[in-house]
Amino acid sequence: MKTIIEPFRIKSVEPIYFTTRKEREAILQNAFYNPFFIHAKDVLIDLLTDSGTNAMSSHQWAGIMEGDESYAGSESFFHFEKTIKDITGMPIVIPTHQGRASEKILFSIIGGKGKYIVSNTLFDTTRANIEFSGAEGIDLLCEEGKLPEVPAPFKGNMNVEALKKTIHEKGAANIPLCVITVTNNSGGGQPVSMQNIREVKEVCRENNIPLFIDACRFAENCYFIKLREKGYENKPVIEIAKELFSYADGCTMSAKKDAIANIGGFLAMHNKELADQCRNLLIITEGFPTYGGLAGRDLEAIAIGLNEVMDEHYLRYRIRSIEYITEKLVAAGVPVMQPAGGHAVYIDAKLFLPHIPVEYYPGQALVGALYIEGGVRGVEIGSLMFGKYDKNKKLIPAQMELVRLAIPRRVYTQSHIDYVTEVIIEVFNKRNDIKGLKIVEEPPMLRHFTAKLKIAGEHTN
């Protein structure tokens, strides 16, 4: 196989800044071992997230100049609306400033005490918005999705039997929505098969439960379907996307991912009554329904990005580049989630650092070590993000302790990717020196963003 090349050339560049190991040690300590507190200029390769960190194309930048900034009835809104209607087949499109704004609006209306929202896996902001409404989120991931090192083609699938059981236990009337996250971010960026979506839809239909897609990374998911699911190998990604959305009653979207934009989101749906309620909330939280918290130029950039993301040369490069890192890491013995996800590499911190118990946050410890070794910033997706406490303040750990290295779209070159791989392998070779961490301060919700930590005592080593 030939070298993976970027399917673009570079017209505008941005410097990245080098620091010494000694400087990084001090920076990390001052940031309370939390990567969210590190200033971006102190990061060499920033893999904290693929959200809003995308490089826009010259076509999108031209769209930015064309943006119609009218308060009502902006031309850019109609371009945005038409693009989304074409892809999703959904007649109602409501712009928001980002994914979680869509979630907040939706769950304020359909959530509430005594309700259950079922999902393959809810992303953390989705779960937080559900819980904030008083409802409960239930993840029903398929069994193979829970085994990081065991490859399977669609590890993001929902467990259909568990869905039936949950509906039976909780009662369909108490389940106002089923959400399928594509690709399954918190479960390793793993795709969901069309067959699984079809089966889930059937169960939802029988029980009168609407199905929504959390569509952040829909194009990456559709490309995996093309690569891995029988019958889709010769279909264009746009056709696969249309079929995927055809099974849904609505969707939430963060345009900061697969719309290759820097900000934005939307809700789309079929149900007019629900949409009217959403628009009422939109007006008091986001703005008038033809801009919803966005500038006209953002609507334009999103409309263009949504088409660019389905270009198969782009998708092939994106998926292959992430698979390439995973292959190199596997060859070096580094425990990573397999197969590679769509937007990120997930390292299994429990296996990487078996000497650090989960109470001392091995994922967060590994995030710190990667930063010190090479200025690479990743994020923990484990017990710091999802852990809870029992009545005695004892940690109830997350299912997995992962470290995510998310690759921004069209930002880094293949040599940056090689560098990151070298840094991870170097850290792996020195893994026995890494120490666990303790929380010294934390907020009540979404604690990973602002928790402060320190190195735990020698006993964790």
Binding-site ranges for ligand F0G (CB under 6 A):
49, 51, 98-100, 123, 125-126, 181, 185, 214, 216, 254, 256, 265
Q: Which is nearer to ligand F0G, 74 or 98 (CB)?
A: 98
CB of 252 vs ligand F0G, minimal distance in Å:
7
Q: How far apart are the C-alpha atoms of 245 and 119, rounded to whole Å?
A: 16
Smaller CB separation from ligand F0G, 83 or 181: 181
Find the shortest distance in angstroms from Cβ 84 to ligand F0G.
Answer: 15
For residues 88 and 268, is the Cβ–Cβ distance under 8 A? yes
Q: Which is nearer to ligand F0G, 349 or 434 (CB)?
A: 349
CB of 230 to ligand F0G, least distance (A): 26
In 3D space, the residue among 319, 355, 325, 353 whose CA is nearest the CA of residue 337 turns out to be 325
Least distance in angstroms from the C-beta of 168 to ligand F0G? 27
The residue (of 60 and 183) whose beta carbon lies closer to ligand F0G is 183
Closer of 107 and 360 to ligand F0G (Cβ): 107
In the complex, least distance from residue 379 CB atom to ligand F0G, rounded to whole angstroms: 7
Residue nearest to ligand F0G (CB): 99
SS3 36: helix
- Sequence-ordered alpha helix ranges (H) in 332-456: 349-352, 362-374, 383-386, 414-429
Of 86, 87, 80, 136, the C-alpha closest to 107 is: 136
Of residues 104, 109, 94, 97, the one with CA closest to residue 277:
109
CB of 171 to ligand F0G, least distance (A): 27
Between CA 168 and CA 227 the distance in angstroms is 35
| Nearest residue (CB) to ligand F0G, 159 versus 185 | 185
Cα angle for residues 321, 322, 327 (degrees, 5° grid): 95
What are the angstrom distances between the C-alpha of 434 and each of 42, 427, 431, 437?
21, 9, 6, 10
Show the DSSP H helices in 43-159 as ranges: 58-66, 75-88, 99-110, 124-132
